[in-house]
Structure 1
Amino acid sequence: MNTIVNFRSLRIPVLVAALFIAAPVVASAAEEPLPKFQREKTVFKVDEGKWKGPHLPDGQPDVQGAWSNTIGNHSDLTQSGSYTERNRREGEASARQVVRAPSRISDPADGKVPFQPWAREKADEFAKHLLDPTKPEYIEPLARCAPAGPSKSFMWHGFDIRQYKDYVVFLFDSGTRVIHLDNKPHLHQKVKLWNGDSRGHWEGNTLVVDVANNNGKGRFGRSGEFFSENAKITERYVFDSDRQKFLYHATYDDPTVFTRPFTITIPIRRVENFAHDNWNNILFPAKHAGKEKILERYEQICTENNGGHGNGGVR
């Protein structure tokens, strides 16, 4: 379900490949450059088709391991009206936060969320009050240690995929998702979850997932975009047979919030070489040489209650 997993006990390798609560996107000249894969500015292509890689005993394509989003971060879903641009104008962001990835919206072609007018105003209101949360609803869910939601989970830290008979399990440091492959019906419609209730099946190299029972409390980014509990979400995870990359596609259909369905696309690569380090040790090893390596900063704050909410950034 949507419990927070103690990753230290599970020994899950996690890479912080994107922002960690207002962390910089690119390094300054005085610091080490980011790993090459983090600088991708385009989305690679993976076609749907036959799976040519190894299979598990139950017939599933074997896609287990540690993975991470390699483009953008959870601050901005799109290029326009972004959190970083807004803060730059207000003098609250450094120059090195300005460089951003392309919009994660692949359809429509303009890369913008097709909000109804009232919903666009609400999203702008959320973004405006991100750093001034005068109402509980303005507090970004991850800052409250809530799960990130079906799609935002793939725009934050690295994650782990585990596979079992009739299940695919995603282990995020902000929650867990279980994809049921055994034709079980969805939960009762009155049951609402942060990450939804997932039912899926394999079509060659593609895991197709129907996500229902969403509680509508998640966000797409710190820039304020949201959806409601009425959203119907169809995900397609298209894995390359070399098992080194896959594309995540999620189509949202919510006529109460949007004027038309739209699709999010996120490129993801295998990152198992970066296990068990926090983002500072990975990105700036010289600067943090000899210092204690902090495993699972989010876990330390949210699961173990050893820090203030929203205090997951640089120490």
Structure 2
Amino acid sequence: MAEPETDAAIPDGQGRGAFSGPPFAGKPKEGEVPFQPWARALYEYREANLFEPHTRCKPSGGPRQFITPGGIEFVDSPELQTVYIFDIAGPQTFRVIYMDGRPHPENLFPSYYGHSVGHWEGDTLVVDTVGFNERFWMERQGAPHTDQLHLIERFTRTDFNNIKIEVTIDDPGAYTRPWTTGFFIRWSPGQEATEYVCQDNNKART
């Protein structure tokens, strides 16, 4: 497994990352997102209601984990050849990225974060994920997906305090072609994660 060319490719603990929007590629206009007809209808319904799973104590899932108010924390474990991403808000779940060159298993049990394998391309961490369930929204407005979702994420630390995340979404069940978007998260070194108690039966709309 190739290692990053610098020690600062991604931060390792000792800080907190939070969405700093807007997307660097610009928020895709609804007409530019290649929705299948049913997916567009569901998106419009969700956008009008904004009662998403994250506000009801469910794991963020997929790209949604990076745009929560509580932020995230990276932990790189070279001895385990694994990167962990801790989702601070919501039910405080975490995601595992295997860096040991293993393939995706043939028979995966669908989950909120899927099965992720990663490798370095220079100073960019490239993560390939499959095996998602259909229980989360991919962002706050309600972009849908199916269990066919194949996600490619590229994490690049553009400077000490900013991480660029480019996301390619390939889901033939919900979209007519693969499409790419992206955003920044801002890293706050030395900032400790704060306790977040997820409330049962939360009725928050935002």
TM-score tier (shorter): 0.7 to 0.9
What is the aligned-residue identity percentage? 28
- 1:118 partner SS: helix
- Name the residue aligned to 1:69: 19
> Where does residue 193 of structure 1 map in the other structure?
111
| CA distance 1:226–1:313, change in 2 (3 Å) | closer
The 1-side partners of 2:132 and 2:191 are apart by 32
Q: Please point out which of 117, 129, 133 is paired with 2:37.
A: 117
- Aligned-pair CA distance for 1:248: 0.5
Relative to 1, partners in 2 of residues 1:161 and 1:62: Cα closer, same or farther, differing over 3 Å? Answer: same
- Normalising to structure 2: TM-score of the pair? 0.81
Amino acid at match of 2:67: M
Does structure 1 residue 53 correspond to structure 2 residue 6? yes
Match 1:213 to one of 117, 131, 145: 131
Q: How many angstroms apart in 1 are the aligned matches of 2:84 and 2:190?
A: 21
Equivalence map 1:1-315=2 (5 Å) = 53-54=6-7, 61=9, 63-65=11-13, 66-71=16-21, 101=22, 104=23, 106=25, 110=29, 112-130=32-50, 139-156=51-68, 157-165=70-78, 166-173=81-88, 174=90, 175-240=93-158, 242-272=159-189, 274-276=191-193, 295-297=194-196, 300-301=197-198, 307-310=199-202
Equivalent pair of 1:187/1:213 in contact (CA under 8 Å)? no
Distance change in 2, residues 1:171/1:312 (3 Å): farther
How far residue 260 of structure 1 moved from its aligned partner, in angstroms, is 1.8
Q: 1:243 to 1:189 in 2, by over 3 A?
A: farther
Alpha-carbon spacing, 1:275–1:127, altered in 2? closer, same or farther (3 Å): same
Q: Supply the distance in 2 between the matched residues of 1:107 and 1:235 (Cα, whole angstroms).
A: 17
Q: How many residues align?
A: 195
Q: Return the letter of the residue paired with 2:25.
A: S
Q: Deviations over 1:56-108 (max 9, x none)?
A: xxxxx56213222111xxxxxxxxxxxxxxxxxxxxxxxxxxxxx4xx48399
Q: Is the 8 A contact 1:217 1:228 kept in 2?
A: no
Matches of 1:149 and 1:204, distance apart in 2: 27
Distance 1:68 1:124 in 2: 26
CA RMSD of aligned residues (A): 2.8
SS at structure 2 position matched to 1:308: coil
Following superposition, the deviation at residue 244 of structure 1 comes to 2.2
**TM-score, length-normalised on structure 1?**
0.55
Mark the CA change 1:125 to 1:152 in structure 2 (over 3 Å): closer, same or farther.
same
Q: Does structure 2 conserve the Cα–Cα contact (< 8 Å) formed by 1:143 and 1:309?
A: no
SS in 1 for 2:46: helix
Higher relative CO (Cα under 8 Å, sequence separation at least 6) belongs to 2
Partners of 2:164 and 2:10 in 1: CA distance:
16
Query: How far did 1:311 drift?
Result: 5.5
Structure 1 segments unaligned to the other structure (5+ residues): 1-49, 56-60, 72-100, 131-138, 277-294, 302-306
What is the Cα deviation at residue 117 of structure 1? 1.9
Structure with the bigger percentage of strand: 2
- What is the CA-CA distance between 1:115 and the residue it aligns to? 0.8
- Following superposition, the deviation at residue 254 of structure 1 comes to 1.2
- Judging by fraction of residues, say which structure has more helix: 1
How far has the Cα of 1:258 moved from its partner?
0.9
Question: 8 Å contact 2:171–2:178 — kept in the other structure?
Answer: yes
* Contact 2:112–2:133 (Cα < 8 Å) also in 1: yes
On the 8 A contact 2:64/2:140 being kept in 1, the answer is no
The structure number with the bigger radius of gyration is 1
